[in-house]
Amino acid sequence: MSEIAEGQGRGQSLDDLLAVLDLERIEVNIFRGSSPEEGPQRVFGGLVAGQALVAAGRTAPEDRYVHSLHAYFIRPGDPSVPIVYEVDRVRDGRSFTTRRVVAVQHGKPIFTLSASFHKEEPGLDHQIPMPDVPPPEELPSTRERLQEAFGKLPGFVTWHPIELRPTGPLSFEAERDPRLRTATNPVWLKVDGKLPDDRLTQVCLMTYASDMTLLDTVLLRHGRSFAGISMASLDHAMWFHRPFRADEWLLYAQETPTAQGARGLARGLVYTREGELVCSVVQEGMIRVIDAEGWS
C-alpha cells in the first residue's frame, strides 16, 4: 500500500514471493503461511490477502474461478510468526461456491476474507474503455524515479518482484509542486518473471499487487508524501471479470473519490495492454496526519 510497499519484501525475488504464497496445509480446512525472511515490522496487507485467497481457492472445486473477494484488515500482522488460515466452506451451489477465511496470529484474528467462485458460463458482455496513457516501455519505474530524485534509494525501496511504472507524478513530487496534485493515478504493473499458468496464481499475485499503490492516490490528491502520515489498509474488495496474466503488463487506473475523518477511499480498474478490463478494486484506508511536516 504505497510507494513504501515497493520495498516491503527487501531483497525478495519472485521465487521468494511464490514460496510464501504456497501455503502449508495442516488440516483439511486449515493452512499455514509465513512472511518473507526480511521485511517490515508488520505483514504487508497484500501478502495476507493473497495468502487468504490461496487458502480459499484450494478448497474450491477446480472448475470454479474466483470472481470476487471482500476483506477486512483487523490487526497488524506479526512477520516473525506464521499466520494460520482457517477456511469455512460456507456453500457449494450449482454455479457458485462461497468461502470465508479467518487469518489468525497469537490466538486472535488479524484479517478476514470472503470469496466467491463461479463456474464459467455465457452472458452479456460490455466494459468501459481503458484510459489513454503512454505505454510502459516509454516510462521509468518508481525505483528509477526515486533514484534520480534522491541520488540514492531511500531505505524502504529495494528490488521487488512487482515492477511499477506510474504514468503520472509520485506523491513526493506532488508535495513539492502543487500543480501536480491529481485525483487519478494510472500505474503500469507486472510481475518481473514467469508465472505458472494456473488462474489462481494469477489472481493471487494481482491481489498482492493491488494493495501497493491505491492509497498513494489519496496522498496525490492532497500533495502529501509519507512524512507526517500514518496509513493502513482497512478493507479491500476486488472483482475479477476476465482471465489475465499478472506477468504481462497491466494498467492499474486508480482514482480517489473522497477522503474524510482520517479515512480515504480509492478505487481502480485493471486493464490488459490490449484494453480488456479484467479486474475492479476498491479500498478504504486509515490516513492520519500526525504532523504538519512534508517530505524531507
Start-to-end CA distance of the chain, whole Å, equals 21
d(CA 206, CA 191): 9
C-alpha grid cell, residue 44: 504487508
Active-site position among 12, 202, 233, 254: 233
Catalytic residue (one of 105, 141, 211, 254): 211
Cell numbers 519505474: residue: 141
**What is the spatial distance between Cα 93 and Cα 70, in angstroms, rounded to a whole number?**
19
Count H helices and E strands in the chain, helices first. Answer: 6, 12
Active site residue 132: no
* Catalytic (active site) residue 125: no
141 catalytic per annotation: no
Q: Quickly count: other Cβ atoms within 10 Å of residue 246's Cβ.
A: 23
Q: How far apart are CA 142 and CA 243, in angstroms?
A: 27
Helix (H, G, I), strand (E, B) or coil at 65: strand
Q: Which residues are catalytic?
A: 211, 233, 283
